[in-house]
Amino acid sequence: MIEAVIFDLDGVVVDSEQVWDEVRERLVREAGGRWHEGAQADMMGMSSPEWSRYMHEELGLLETPEEINETVVQRMLERYGEELPLIEGAVAAVRRLAAHFPLAVASSSNRPLIDAVLTRAGIAGLFDVTVSSEEVARGKPAPDVYLEAAARVGVEPARCTAVEDSSNGLRAARAAGMRVFAFPNLRYPPAPDALALADVVLDSLDQLTREAVTG
């Protein structure tokens, strides 16, 4: 019996992966670093300590990981302040499920970004719990952020449904022992082996209903 639903944020609620890509690429190029095509895919699902260290060590930014993290988060907040790219059907899906389940967020985004997105979307009050992977030991594909979200919401992982879009997110949710719904990211589609871990693949968030979650 499913008793809670745990949402990823980026790629499920907000269409932000390309925003992250643009912000980090621009910062690397401004600093004369070594941006490459695989950088965004490498960083998807990483916690902020992990991706800021990656930008420092692999992409050649001279600033400390802490300084890199602060700059990227500030630029992301500025972009969200200009326009919040909500995914079609996301707010409706959250409102629909909140009537029947406790909801949580398990996200690789930083705490200020999670709070900004949910507040601007008008759905912050519908989530019982939000967890950033910067608050746990390891980012996705490790299961830590999902396990922490389940623990905080007070539901066994096996009684949770996770909604994810990316390879690392799908792997994290499966490793946590949850029922996994995939809503594949169109710009950065999950690898076939990761998508195969999903119990259900959604074509639209309109399909994310109480009946689908419990079925």
What would the pLDDT profile of 76-92 be if each residue is shown by its tens digit?
Answer: 999 999 999 999 999 99
Q: What is the pLDDT of residue 30?
A: 96
Number of other CB atoms surrounding residue 109 within 10 Å: 26
Q: Is the pLDDT of residue 46 over 90?
A: no
Q: Is the pLDDT of residue 45 over 90?
A: no
DSSP three-state, residue 58: coil
Q: How do 179-182 and 103-107 pair as beta strands? A: unpaired
Do residues 146 and 6 touch, judged by C-beta distance below 8 A? Answer: yes
Q: What is the pLDDT of residue 204?
A: 97
Mean pLDDT, the chain, rounded, equals 96
Question: What are the residue boundaries of the structural domains of the chain, listed by start?
Answer: 4-15+85-214, 17-82
Number of other CB atoms surrounding residue 24 within 10 Å: 26
pLDDT range class, residue 124, cuts 50, 70, 90: very high
Q: Yes or no: is domain 4-15+85-214 CATH 3.40.50.720?
A: no
What would the pLDDT profile of 164-185 be if each residue is shown by its tens digit?
Answer: 999 999 999 999 999 999 999 9
**Lowest mean pLDDT across 3-7, 42-46, 195-199, 202-206:** 42-46
Q: Is the pLDDT of residue 40 over 90?
A: no
Pick the CATH number of 17-82 from 1.20.1330, 1.10.3470, 1.10.150, 1.10.20: 1.10.150
Residues in the chain, overall count: 215
Q: Is the pLDDT of residue 27 over 90?
A: yes
Q: Is the pLDDT of residue 26 over 90?
A: yes
Q: Is the pLDDT of residue 61 over 90?
A: yes
pLDDT range class, residue 187, cuts 50, 70, 90: confident
Do residues 176 and 146 touch, judged by C-beta distance below 8 A? Answer: yes
Q: Is the pLDDT of residue 44 over 90?
A: no
Would 4-15+85-214 and 17-82 be classified into the same CATH topology?
no
Q: What is the pLDDT of residue 175?
A: 98
Q: Is the pLDDT of residue 47 over 90?
A: no
Q: What is the pLDDT of residue 95?
A: 98
- Determine the average pLDDT of the residues in 99-109: 97
